[in-house]
């Protein structure tokens, strides 16, 4: 039963609602040096001693490059109607560029997977880019820092995939979590990341003198334009004859309560969350909106509403690099669906973040503990992961009020899930007694059904993260 209603989810959710699981190429495929695949930036990062705590790499991951038939069988056993997976850019175009050769063996792998999914009655939802930029492009011209080059190369890559799979794939996602791509770039994945040029920097009036920083956003701007160019290519040359829809996958993210906590148990408090004011500081609700605008709105507002968030414009002034009129023409309205990755909830009190990362995280600290030390929800394994179903309902309503309702855009939850604390240390029989994960899904799915039944929100799909015990490293 859903929260607050006696109806079953099947009776409430719309006809054709898609239910399935999500994965990402680098986290599951393996086969990193097989059949002509080129390296990606995560292969480079994982090769640095100590960069990943346990020395894990994507060389094998969970070996889906060889076991993809087992993946499809598992999806069938779980009753999935859809599967979201990503394409490894460097498996298809090993050197990445628009004039570089295409790897037919890479295309064959994805074509076979799509055929097997369709034979099993499972709809493929294909993500073109899930963080794994070809190494050659980073070395050739700086990757996402070079908007002119990377947008053209991404468009060509997208066209190759559309041409190969578009007769069978009807649901496309251009980029997964552009904000997280930016954040990961700042943490060593991108050599020579430039805090002055690669991220947009805001000077908040509540921050101490000296924190007002210059405003440039090479990487965010390049990602929005790459998305828009791929969408235009699809709509102009494929969608009209092949049908289908296309969008971008966004998040709303959080940061640790204190700088020191980045090396403590909650250091992963940086993903996909609702932000709720805590306390009586009048800056608390402003901090929540600053967080939403910085991580979600800076991408969603241009794409769905045709402008930057007002708070960000007010803060940046004339330092915010605008899109040209021609760029706005392809950016606004460039998503048929609103794909959201979301997991948990954070409080914000209005306390400022004052180090050099302030502009990355909206200028304010977050917490999952109140003044008495009470946690916001049942803790999971990554530090940020707490069970807070009411926060899930609130972020859905926020999207409805700001984006979905005004534009008539449907919502698809493209990632949502939970890992019980200490699960990786438990015996298999104890892991299979999966009560906490069941509790999480019951709570979150109940809130989603309630959003449909009582709120009238158009939600067309839900993907659990993840199908497999995949490589998790950030």
Q: How far apart are CA 91 and CA 81, in angstroms?
A: 26
And the tokens for 376?
């916001």
- What are the residue ranges of helices labelled H in 293-364? 298-300, 310-316, 325-331
Picking from 229, 271, 267, the residue whose alpha carbon sits closest to that of residue 250 is 271
Q: Residues 368-386, buried b or exposed e (16+ Cβ, 10 A)? A: beeeeeeebbbbbbbbbbb
Which phi and psi angles does 250 have, rounded to 5°? -120, 165
Cα distances (Å, whole numbers) of residue 146 to 14, 139, 195, 220, 271: 42, 11, 15, 11, 26
Neighbours of 154 (CB within 10 A): 28
- Whether residue 450 lies in the annotated active site: no
Q: Is 177 a catalytic residue?
A: yes
Q: Which of 177, 276, 351, 436 is an active site residue?
A: 177
Structure tokens that stand for 257 in this block:
């309560």
Dihedrals phi, psi of 69, to nearest 5 degrees: -65, -35
- Element counts in the chain: helices (H) and strands (E): 19, 12
Tokens of 243: 């049908």
Catalytic-role residue among 138, 149, 415, 436? 415
3-class secondary-structure state, position 175? strand
Give the residue numbers annotated as catalytic, written as ranges.
Answer: 177, 415
């Amino acid at each position: 039963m859903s929260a607050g209603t006696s109806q079953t989810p099947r009776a409430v959710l719309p006809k054709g609602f898609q239910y399935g699981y999500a994965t990402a190429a680098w986290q599951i495929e393996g086969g990193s040096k097989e059949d002509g695949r080129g390296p990606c930036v995560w292969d480079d990062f994982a090769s640095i001693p100590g960069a990943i705590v346990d020395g894990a790499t994507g060389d094998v991951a969970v070996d889906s490059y060889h076991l993809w038939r087992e993946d499809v069988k598992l999806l069938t056993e779980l009753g999935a109607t859809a599967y979201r997976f990503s394409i490894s850019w460097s498996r298809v175009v090993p050197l990445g560029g628009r004039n570089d050769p295409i790897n037919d063996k890479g295309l064959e792998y994805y074509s076979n997977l799509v055929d097997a999914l369709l034979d099993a009655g499972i709809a493929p939802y294909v993500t073109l880019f899930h963080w794994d930029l070809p190494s050659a492009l980073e070395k050739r011209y700086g990757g996402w820092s070079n908007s002119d080059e990377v947008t053209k190369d991404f468009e060509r890559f997208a066209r190759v995939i559309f041409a190969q799979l578009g007769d069978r794939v009807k649901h496309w996602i251009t980029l997964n979590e552009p904000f997280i791509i930016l954040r990961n770039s700042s943490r060593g994945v991108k050599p020579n990341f430039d805090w002055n040029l690669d991220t947009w920097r805001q000077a908040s009036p509540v921050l101490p003198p000296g924190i007002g920083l210059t405003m440039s956003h090479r990487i965010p701007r390049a990602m929005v334009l790459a998305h828009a160019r791929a969408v235009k290519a699809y709509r102009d040359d494929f969608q009209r004859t092949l049908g289908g829809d296309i969008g971008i996958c966004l998040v709303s993210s959080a940061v640790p309560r204190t700088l020191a906590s980045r090396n403590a148990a909650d250091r992963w408090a940086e993903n996909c969350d609702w932000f709720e004011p805590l306390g009586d500081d009048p800056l608390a609700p402003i901090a929540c909106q600053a967080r939403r605008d910085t991580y979600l709105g800076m991408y969603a507002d241009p794409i769905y509403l045709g402008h930057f968030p007002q708070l960000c414009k007010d803060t940046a002034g004339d330092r915010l690099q605008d899109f040209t009129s021609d760029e706005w023409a392809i950016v606004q309205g460039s998503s048929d669906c609103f794909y959201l990755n979301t997991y948990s909830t954070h409080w914000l009190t209005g306390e400022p973040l004052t180090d050099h990362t302030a502009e990355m995280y909206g200028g304010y600290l977050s917490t999952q503990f109140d003044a008495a030390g009470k946690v916001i929800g049942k803790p999971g394994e990554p530090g940020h992961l707490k069970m807070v179903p009411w926060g899930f309902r609130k972020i859905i309503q926020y999207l409805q009020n700001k984006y979905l309702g005004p534009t008539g855009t449907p919502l698809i939850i493209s990632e949502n899930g939970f890992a019980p604390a200490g699960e990786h240390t438990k015996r298999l029989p104890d892991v299979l007694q999966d009560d906490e994960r069941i509790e999480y899904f019951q709570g979150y799915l109940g809130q989603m059904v309630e959003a449909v039944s009582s709120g009238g929100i158009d939600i067309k799909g839900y993907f659990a993260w993840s199908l497999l015990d995949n490589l998790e490293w950030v």
